[in-house]
Amino acid sequence: MFRCTAQTGTSQTTDNEEGVRAVKALTIVICSYNYERFLREAIDSALAQEPQLTQVIVIDDGSTDGSHAIIASYGDRIIPVLKANGGQASSYNLGLEMVDTEYILYLDSDDVLYDGAIAQVVEAFEHGNYGKVQFTLSVIDGQSRPTGARVPHSQPPAECGALLRNGWLYPSPPASGNAYRVSALRRILPLPQATRRGIAADFFAIYGVVLVGKVGVIDRPLGGYRVHGAADQPGAKPTAHASLSIANSQDVAEVVRAFPQRWQALRELVNERLGEQLPEQAMDFSYEKAHLCMQVYEAQWSRRWHWIVFGSRRYFRSILSNPFWTLRKKFSAIALTLLCLLPLRSVSDHAIRYIANPLARGTQDHRS
């Protein structure tokens, strides 16, 4: 199934300054597929972490670009794995199977870690009985320029498993901002290889793990989350609706289509692994704002009013009942939404773009 070019069956150790052999604490697993243009930056950021704490595995999921040559150039500084294409779930499963450290972090190959990130993550684990430690990510663009935005925009309580059991998805950074206690994650993974579950494997790790452990939060940027797409490539022209994208290559229609499938698959997985029954429907602002965008963006004034009056109950519930938001944030979100009712479509559409993709606010300003 895969070709591993370094031995992985023994515990990884290193000499510290006093000559004592110390077992490494955390494995960074870089999962990559055809990200040649970003891969070296991701690997360099992982290798820049404290070597006495960290080992680096790079899993290439059947890339057809120049990724293999980049991986080979690092020699024995990393543990390289070249495998046939099997999707993100297969890479997550394989990475978890290979690690012999207490903690694991899956770094997307288009993202980066900042210096000292792993030391702070390990310290957080050692001072709390956490199943997961998450940290804020700065949003960067395709050329590694900071946009000024950060994710997530709010932070969850340590005990957010109870809220998930009631259907509320808690605020989490994307995949690269999450580190897991291996023993906790192995209660959720490996993921079945069915196609439906093979998409967005990080969704199952991020939300499933809170049912078996608390969440530790580091509320400062320890890495960069890259927002990019076809428009970032040389000579590419931006598409008319690119600013509505929720994340990389994920427009609002994809969110509306994929989220219910992911939630149902998570329910099945949790029932199989933990014997728990999650609610049939989940509540998540990202999903509800995607519905808002599809209904009112570039729509006639009468259609906007009709949806706000008759179709927006769940959308406003995701704001008003949100257990993770402050009153100020709830008020701001409602006020911004009501701008959609103004007759001027230029104002309405600007408000929708602002709601739909806060990650792109700084990027849009930077490019204009």
Domain ranges of the chain: 2-228, 243-367
Higher pLDDT, 115 or 142: 115
Q: Mean pLDDT in the chain?
A: 85
Higher pLDDT, 217 or 351: 217
Dump pLDDT digits (tens) for 221-237.
999 999 876 444 444 44
- Asked if residue 142 has pLDDT above 90, the reply is no
- Asked if residue 115 has pLDDT above 90, the reply is yes
- What pLDDT is recorded for position 368? 31
Q: How confident is the model at residue 253 (pLDDT cuts 50, 70, 90)?
A: confident
- pLDDT-wise least confident of 143-152, 191-200, 241-250: 241-250
- Angle at CA of residue 244, ends 242 and 248, nearest 5°: 65
- Asked if residue 250 has pLDDT above 90, the reply is no
Dump pLDDT digits (tens) for 53-102.
999 999 999 999 999 999 999 999 999 999 999 989 999 999 999 999 99
Tell me what the mean pLDDT of segment 251-262 comes to: 82
- Asked if residue 7 has pLDDT above 50, the reply is no
- Asked if residue 44 has pLDDT above 90, the reply is yes
Tell me what the mean pLDDT of segment 349-363 comes to: 69
Q: Half-sphere exposure (CA, 13 Å, Cβ side) for 8?
A: 24
pLDDT > 90: what percent of the chain? 67
Report the predicted TM-score, pTM, of the whole model to 2 decimal places: 0.86
CATH number for the segment(s) 2-228: 3.90.550.10
Beta bridge mates, 107: 30
- Asked if residue 32 has pLDDT above 50, the reply is yes
Q: How far is CA 137 from CA 111, 153, 154, in A?
A: 9, 10, 12
| DSSP state string for 280-294 | SS-B-HHHHHHHHHH
Tell me what the mean pLDDT of segment 147-161 comes to: 90
- Asked if residue 36 has pLDDT above 60, the reply is yes
- What pLDDT is recorded for position 192? 82
- Asked if residue 190 has pLDDT above 70, the reply is yes
Measuring CA to CA, which residue among 217, 107, 229 is closest to residue 160?
Answer: 217
